[in-house]
Chain A
Amino acid sequence: MLNPVDIQQRLDRILPRVRKPGRYTGGELNQVVKDWDKIPVRIALVFPDIYDLGMSNLGLAILYDLINQRPDALAERAYSPWPDMETAMRQADIPLYSLETKHPLSQFDIIGFSLPYEALYTNVINALDLAGIPIFASERSENHPIVIAGGHATYNPEPMHAFIDAFVIGEGEEVIQEIIDLYQGWKSNAGGREELLASLARIWGVYVPSLYKDHYEADGTFAYIERLDQRAPLPVFKRIAARLPPPTTNFIVPYIDIVHNRIPVEIMRGCTRGCRFCQAGMITRPVRERPVAEIVTALEEALAKTGIEEIGLLSLSSSDYTQLVQAVSERFAGRHLAVSLPSLRIESFSVDLMDALKNTRRGGFTLAPEAATERMREIINKPVSTAQLLETARAIFSRGWSTIKLYFMIGHPSETLDDVQAIVDLCKAVLAEGRRLIGGRAQVTAGVSTFVPKPHTPFQWVPCDRIDQIHAKQDLLKKGLRGKGLKLNWNNPEETMLEAWLSRGDRRLAEVIYRAWRNGARFDSWSELFRYDLWLGAFARTGLEPAFYTHRERPIDETFPWEHISTSVHKKFLTEDYLWSLQGKTRVDCRERCFACGILPNFAELRRDNPGDVWQCPEVKSKRIRIRDLAPAGEMIHL
């Protein structure tokens, strides 16, 4: 096997020949290099796409920092090489290596993949292959690393079950520590791999797919999951941190331009808005906020360590940031610092907030109405009136912005071409306001993505639009949104199909993913590299019907292949919310009223131990919690 010195020598020869060699060198400011031989647990954190994207991933930055703070563990980084580098590496027999010490990935104890979205799946297989680690979990032995994956896509881990030894469901900050502790104990006892996997499965938030078996009905729908080891949990509950730990401030400063050149700080985790299409909003509950003082202190520290010129305040939805914005703008005034906020509420007060930041760089102002008619917005539970949107647009243009970016989705349940036409009309109405206020400088950019129904959401039952429907809708948009001051961005419908197949897939899709990779699929999220035909070919070879996963309206009582993974939001709540959407019934922000989604009953103890504003859920005082305490009588629909 190659040692780090061999790898470095071979790299020196190939790096001058590849694009953006700075992706492959490591050695950046603030990277952590430990003495390999003295550290018992070695973890490679892998983002299965290029460095430029992976370095912008906050989740991995947090884990890197937490692991490296332990004296008994080390974390190093690896990313997918771009195809030119992959070719060069395969020619020179260089295995996938870590940037810090150039160790082959196969020499690590644990490989941790980040899987925020489905289009990375073939890259995971490719990374394992490049590392010389058996692709299938069942073929790995004691001599191979344990392969772990976490991230939002793993809330439905089944399509990747064959390649991953253990999934981390939920938040990683605490569970990673328990995994390291367990691994260290196992390593010193020289135990078997099966024993390790069985113990991992007993950690809250860890799902070991090899301990379960899938069963199907005659019609091909999912029947049930069978536990092969009675000690394995069923269901597997997601992990959460009761209180958000202080933000990470040790960011690596890249030598090259990456996707987000900013210091990211999560100001809040979870979301109370309840948009029905939004998986993140359902799986990251409950809402936990960070105190303003803690955020400001962390920013100060991170700026001193990195010198980075932009900060990104991250959260899923906008809440009342007044205090935070005030604190940030006071503390960092005059430092030539750009501050980005998460998408803001559609109300003119948001413009005051952005104004208060006095950003030196003033790009476009982004709003996400998601749908253009009030009917549609009621169905998706994002009730904003068109009048309110136009009023906000007026405030934006009159306060000095010339570009408004509007985010929409097509393909919402029951959407018609009229609803799509309404997107065109609304964009034009916003532009007209801009013209009136600032003249020809006004610009409206519409970003229109295609809705993909996701597991664990109220829309997990609904069919995804067919390609021909998407084309018809996009044609309408392209025809309507042309001309001066208008710009339209959309997604390739074939890439949407891939996301749709994999999002609600079952274990049988593992073979499709494997075959697609064997056929050459990789970097599926890159339009220039995505090959739809390879995927259709893979489906054909396995005999599975793609439309089964995407275009079928699932019966309300269907059992889903991801139900043994519990987000703690009850299926009953999701079902009710789905039925409400059909009636156009909306829910208010759950800060105003608890709808008993299931988080509190499941995490009652955690909530009781963490009272006050740490969570935005109601307090739990008594030992037992009754659902009827949470929702006013008469509001529940019993199914």
Chain B
Amino acid sequence: MRLRIIFSKTEAMRYTGHLDLYRTWERTLRRANLPLAYSQGFKPHPRLTLASALPLGFTSQAEVMDVWLENNLPIDQVERALLRALPPGLQVEQISQVETQAPGLQARLVAAEYLVTLNQPYSDLDARLEKVLSVASLPRERRGKPYDLRPLILDLQRQTDDPEGCQRILMRLSAREGATGRPEEVLLCANIDPLAACIHRTGLNFVD
């Protein structure tokens, strides 16, 4: 059976990279004693797919993963087994069964939403954000390749401050293959130090 798990990634787990997260899930499913399916062949690997890599240091409440099990089990039984086996920093938000032949997660991903909490206040925050949105293009470079960040910003707005009075920004960025906007790049365009901000993913958007 194929399961879709929506999970949070918080605490120290935010420093676990994409590949290490696969391994962490494999171990979690093994501890849960769930019949994780493995690929055939010379070097079998567990059948897990994460929708989108979360950059190191970001937290999230909306990561999506598909898992293949060798046989069918009631969802609540899977959930109970998983809850006992989860490591600190991973929480299961939702589990559902999906069609085995349903299209892959990565191909259907279109956008990601982020909530950015700033460690230090900017008195002109609104103006900074407006300036980013007002231009027609934002030429940037990533790994030596030039690209335009502006069309990847689908939404950018100030949120109400958090209870502790920290400023917050909401972003919705394109997350299509080959057209992925990175929230820290958006911050840099607004002249905000990304290392002085907590970036939290609040949602992943898929097309049907």
Contact (Cβ within 8 A) B15 A22: yes
Cα of A20 to Cα of B57 in the assembled complex, Å? 10
Known: A21-B57, A22-B12, A257-B19. A307 touches B89 (CB 8 A): no
Stretch at the interface among A26-34, A42-50, A157-165, A417-425: A26-34
Contact (Cβ within 8 A) B13 A255: yes
Q: Max chain B CB contacts within 10 Å: which of A25, A307, A309, A362?
A: A307
Closest residue to B197 on the A side, CB-wise?
A16
Our pick among A28, A304, A362 for the contact of B88 (Cβ within 8 Å) is: A28
Query: Any chain A CB within 8 A of the CB of B165?
Result: no
Known: A305-B31, A306-B27. A361 touches B43 (CB 8 A): yes
Query: Any chain A CB within 8 A of the CB of B151?
Result: no
Query: Any chain A CB within 8 A of the CB of B16?
Result: yes
Contact (Cβ within 8 A) A15 B57: yes
| A contact residues, range | 20 to 34
Contact (Cβ within 8 A) B26 A27: no
**Within 8 Å CB of A307, what residues of B?**
26-31, 85
Contact (Cβ within 8 A) A306 B56: no
**Within 8 Å CB of A223, what residues of B?**
none
Query: Any chain B CB within 8 A of the CB of A336?
Result: yes
- Binary A-proximity of B1-18 (CB < 8 A = 1, otherwise 0): 000000000011101110
B43 to chain A, nearest CB (A): 6
Q: Max chain A CB contacts within 10 Å: which of B12, B20, B27?
A: B12
**B interface: dominant SS:** helix
Q: Max chain A CB contacts within 10 Å: which of B24, B29, B44?
A: B24
Known: A21-B57, A28-B88. A306 touches B15 (CB 8 A): no
| B contact residues, range | 20 to 34
Which B residues between 21 and 41 are near A, CB-CB below 8 angstroms?
23-24, 26-31, 33, 36, 38
Cα of A255 to Cα of B19 in the assembled complex, Å? 11
Known: A27-B89, A28-B88. A255 touches B57 (CB 8 A): no
Contact (Cβ within 8 A) A256 B88: no
Our pick among A20, A25, A28, A336 for the contact of B87 (Cβ within 8 Å) is: A28
**Within 8 Å CB of A331, what residues of B?**
none
Query: Any chain B CB within 8 A of the CB of A599?
Result: no
**Within 8 Å CB of A20, what residues of B?**
15
**Within 8 Å CB of B85, what residues of A?**
307
- Binary B-proximity of A254-274 (CB < 8 A = 1, otherwise 0): 011100010000000000000
Cα of A261 to Cα of B26 in the assembled complex, Å? 13
Query: Any chain B CB within 8 A of the CB of A436?
Result: no
Query: Any chain A CB within 8 A of the CB of B83?
Result: no
Known: A22-B12, A360-B44. A29 touches B87 (CB 8 A): yes
Our pick among A15, A309, A361 for the contact of B15 (Cβ within 8 Å) is: A15
Contact (Cβ within 8 A) A303 B19: no
Known: A21-B15, A22-B16, A256-B16. A336 touches B44 (CB 8 A): yes
Closest residue to B32 on the A side, CB-wise?
A307
Cα of A303 to Cα of B195 in the assembled complex, Å? 38
A183 to chain B, nearest CB (A): 31
Contact (Cβ within 8 A) A27 B20: no
**Within 8 Å CB of B89, what residues of A?**
27, 255
Which B residues between 44 and 91 are near A, CB-CB below 8 angstroms?
44, 46, 56-57, 85, 87-89
**Within 8 Å CB of B44, what residues of A?**
336, 360
Q: A15-B15, A255-B89, A257-B20 are in contact. List 10 more A-B contacts (CB 8 A).
A: A13-B195, A16-B195, A22-B15, A27-B88, A28-B88, A253-B24, A255-B12, A255-B24, A304-B31, A306-B31
Q: Can you list 15 A-B pairs, Cβ within 8 angstroms, ordered by A? A: A20-B15, A22-B12, A22-B15, A22-B17, A22-B20, A25-B12, A27-B11, A27-B88, A255-B87, A261-B23, A304-B31, A304-B33, A307-B28, A336-B44, A360-B44
* 9 pairs of A and B residues whose beta carbons are closest in the complex: A307-B27, A307-B30, A25-B12, A307-B31, A29-B87, A27-B12, A22-B15, A21-B15, A255-B16
B positions within 8 Å CB-CB of A? 11-13, 15-17, 19-20, 23-24, 26-31, 33, 36, 38, 42-44, 46, 56-57, 85, 87-89, 195-196
